[in-house]
Amino acid sequence: MSNRQKVLSYRHVIITRFSVRFSMLTEKAGKLFDCDRLDKRMKVFKTVCVPSIVHQSWKHFFWVILVDSDLPSKYRHEIDSIADKHKFIRVLEWQADYKLSQVSWLEEVDIDINVTHLITTRLDDDDALHIHFTKMIKNYYKRYGCLIKCIQFVTFPRGCIWLHKNNTAGLMNPFNMDFIALGMSLIVTQKFPVNVYGFNHAKLKKSFKLRIKNPPYIYKWLSNKLGRTITPRHFKIASAMISIPTAFPMYIYTMHGCNDSAAKYYSGIFKNGGLSPSGKFLSLFGIVL
């Protein structure tokens, strides 16, 4: 075993927010905790999101589901029941004094972050990842982890958008976005205790389109959060942003009745219709209808 293999270690944590208020002073619970909305959201969560994570081929990761302290007990119980069946799933009740950008709250659910690199991945509660997603992340880290001395964002541009209604196959179209937030992963060293939700992905996406590998936005954000000046030298030879092309879709972005703004934005994709996904294709994401 090489010295590199002996020294490097990582922890991969997928983070999903289930109807959480992150600002208790400004966000109202009314619409967020509407029972009709939560019923639909839970159905998509259990049909699309959960299967894609519990069927991951590489099991050495954690899935943290963030829930609101005021989430109605019916839905909290359903999420707890899912977590009880899988040791790698942790449910964390969000507290007002937590900071979303930080990683310290991961220790509240017994996740050891004392590793060479921490990898965090963002996943909404109504989307899905390919069943080999965590394996792809592991393989990437095994090959390039030794080059990452500060932070690095990793995304997979190829995926699908699914018009999913009433638990039916619906319509699906291919989708490709170079720096999509869905499945975006952040790899950081111990010196930079931040997670993937700490950054504005829209600004990162703009920098990626302009082919700015280490955008000033990242330096400024890290400097403000960490209280010390971060410069290009911290990144050594590794780019801050990597988009990995694949031969197969790595994610499914769902459009349904609870994300109307997204549906309106992407509705043009379905102007010429779409294909009804086969059971074999959905099985690549652990989904069974």
The pLDDT assigned to 130 comes to: 97
Edge-to-edge, what's the strand order for the sheet holding 158-163? 128-129, 251-255, 158-163, 171-176
The pLDDT assigned to 2 comes to: 46
What is the C-alpha to C-alpha distance for residues 1 and 26, in angstroms, rounded to an integer?
53
The pLDDT assigned to 155 comes to: 92
What is the C-alpha to C-alpha distance for residues 219 and 122, in angstroms, rounded to an integer?
21
CATH code for the structural domain at 3-283:
3.90.550
In the chain (289 residues long), the average pLDDT of successive 10-residue segments reads 60 96 62 89 95 97 96 96 97 91 93 95 96 96 88 92 76 88 94 88 64 58 65 56 90 77 65 84 94
The pLDDT assigned to 228 comes to: 65
The pLDDT assigned to 29 comes to: 62
The pLDDT assigned to 149 comes to: 82
The pLDDT assigned to 147 comes to: 83
Q: CA end-to-end span of the chain, whole Å?
A: 45
Please spell the DSSP secondary structure of 90-144, one letter per residue: EEEE--TT--TTBSGGGGGGT----SSEEEEEE--TT-EE-TTHHHHHHHHHHHH
3-state helix, strand, coil in the chain (%, to 5): 35, 20, 45
What is the C-alpha to C-alpha distance for residues 50 and 82, in angstroms, rounded to an integer?
8
Quick one: tokens of 139?
A: 């393989």
Dihedral pair phi/psi, residue 152, rounded to 5°? -155, 130
The pLDDT assigned to 201 comes to: 73
Domain ranges (residues) in the chain: 3-283
Q: What is the pTM of this model?
A: 0.87
What is the C-alpha to C-alpha distance for residues 60 and 72, in angstroms, rounded to an integer?
31
Of 125, 127, 107, 124, the closest CA to residue 115 belongs to: 107
